Structure 1
Amino acid sequence: MWYVIQTRTGDEEKLVGLIEKMISKKHYKECFCMNRECARKTEKGYETFLRPLFPAYIFVVTDSPRQMYLELKRVPKLTKLLSDEEDTFFCVSKEEEIFLKNVQNQEHIVRRSLVEVDEEGTIVSADGAVGVYLRHVVRQRLRKRYVCVEQEFLGEKRKIYLGIKLKEDREAN
């Protein structure tokens, strides 16, 4: 099952590296943070870069969360396996796991989706993550090259930002 570890914003990749270095793989199958492609306009067109999809959170796939919790105590970083007051660890629900698997690739990156818009600027079709969750879009910023979808995650509705590209975008090298 997928479990969520909380850390300081900006330390996600460092923590993944520490866990991979300090904790035996027999306690978990995979540890990762999810990133999303973003775009910024430059003189040459749009330049892509990565940002965390869920800042301050990383994911660990494990069948033994209690053992993983004990192992995490050895990692010299601020980490917290998310749990409730009764020390029951939060795992990502099946629906949330399906959402996460649908939007990311094998490298745990949510790629920008190619979208087609009409004359009024309404998205009429999209591929990738935006195409799958087009009916969940609550806000779109075409000029800024992102949309916001509302999705249940960790027991509450959250706004999740997904990058887009229009057919006329030129990718900068």
Structure 2
Amino acid sequence: MWYVVRVETGKEDIVKEIIEKSVDKSLYDRVFIPVYENVWKKAGRGNICIEKMFPGYVFLDTKYIKDIYTYMVKLPVFAHILKELDDEDEYFVPLNEDEVKFFENVLVDNLMTVSYVKKNVRKNTLKIYGPLQIYRNNIKKLDIPHRRALATINFMGKERNVKFGLWTDADGKLDWIEDYKQKDISEEAESDKWNIDKLLNKKRIINNCNKEDEIEKIGFKVGDIVQVDNELYQDVYVVKSIDDRNGKVKILVPMFGTEVGIDVEIERIKKENLCY
């Protein structure tokens, strides 16, 4: 289980070092101080500096918090760096599931990297890579010119504005961001291909439906056996082609030992029902 150790601001590294050197390592899995890449602009470009995410807190993953507490409070040096609190239980506060999930989402080796942002004013879209992407719906303030964003996160029983460092194309290239861009380009290309295929398929469906509508409308299609409402044509004939625009149907009429295509008005054609 994860706990936070509440200490005096500025003494976090000392507490971490005491735990690592004085407490039996079998009593805990991990002790760490979450940090993040803050960005400061200099000469129009971003510069990264590492800062603590939550000053005054050291984080501890352990199943034996009471054993650790009992051992640590006996250390004279430790008593001087704990934050002054009314209740001793407040020194070691357990994190809930959502709070643990937040750290698992944003930290890599205890570090939260910058988040890449690119705003498209014309399309009114915001592209985000990195930890802020997961919490984009929690953004309270987005200050791209000053390379920072604030996102509201529930921590230690109340809402806190967590600062995320921002990175843009104007700040230079970072390898992991470039990898994301290439992946994004590939996915967009695949999406475009899928959309084109989808559009072509939709067009084929519409064309087929239109053909079926035409067949439904006139009652026959090319290759059907039909009769002609005309005294000159007393037999049955095969439809060779249909010119719906001009209202004509070409039928094959046996003549002089061969079949000749003859144009007939559509309204004079009716499909022959062959029953045997």
**TM-score (normalised: structure 1):** 0.87
Q: Deviations over 1:114-140 (max 9, x none)?
A: 1111228x7612111100000000011
Is the 1:114–1:166 Cα contact (8 Å) retained in structure 2? yes
Q: Report the aligned-residue RMSD.
A: 2.5
Q: Deviations over 1:84-127 (max 9, x none)?
A: 9594852110111001110110x20110011111228x761211
- Match of 2:170, SS state, is coil
Q: Which contiguous aligned blocks of 4+ residues in structure 1 show a shift greater than 6 angstroms?
A: none
- Which of structures 1 and 2 has the larger relative contact order (alpha carbons within 8 angstroms, sep 6+)? 1
The structure having more radius of gyration, on CA atoms, is: 2
1 CA distance for matches of 2:150 and 2:22? Answer: 36
| 1:6 counterpart residue number | 6
| 1:101 counterpart residue number | 104
| 1:34 counterpart residue number | 34
| 2:162 counterpart residue number | 160
Q: Equivalent pairs: percent with the same residue? A: 25
After superposition, the Cα gap between the structure-2 partners of 1:52 and 1:129, relative to the gap in structure 1 and judged at 3 Å, is same
Is the 2:41–2:147 Cα contact (8 Å) retained in structure 1? no
2 CA distance for matches of 1:87 and 1:137? Answer: 33
Is it true that 1:21 corresponds to 2:31 in the alignment? no
2 CA distance for matches of 1:90 and 1:15? Answer: 15
After superposition, the Cα gap between the structure-2 partners of 1:140 and 1:25, relative to the gap in structure 1 and judged at 3 Å, is same
Q: Which runs of 5+ in 1 are unaligned?
A: none
Q: Deviations over 1:12-60 (max 9, x none)?
A: 1222112101111122111000001011122383221111000110100
- Match of 2:18, SS state, is helix
After superposition, the Cα gap between the structure-2 partners of 1:115 and 1:37, relative to the gap in structure 1 and judged at 3 Å, is same
| 1:46 counterpart residue number | 46
Matching of residues 2-151 of structure 1 within 5 Å: 2-43=2-43, 45-73=45-73, 74=75, 76-77=77-78, 78-79=81-82, 85=87, 87=89, 89-105=92-108, 107-119=109-121, 124-151=126-153
2 CA distance for matches of 1:36 and 1:75? Answer: 31
Structure with the higher helix share, 1 or 2:
2
2 CA distance for matches of 1:47 and 1:116? Answer: 17
**TM-score (normalised: structure 2):** 0.56
Using the TM superposition, name which of 10-19 and 50-59 deviates more.
10-19
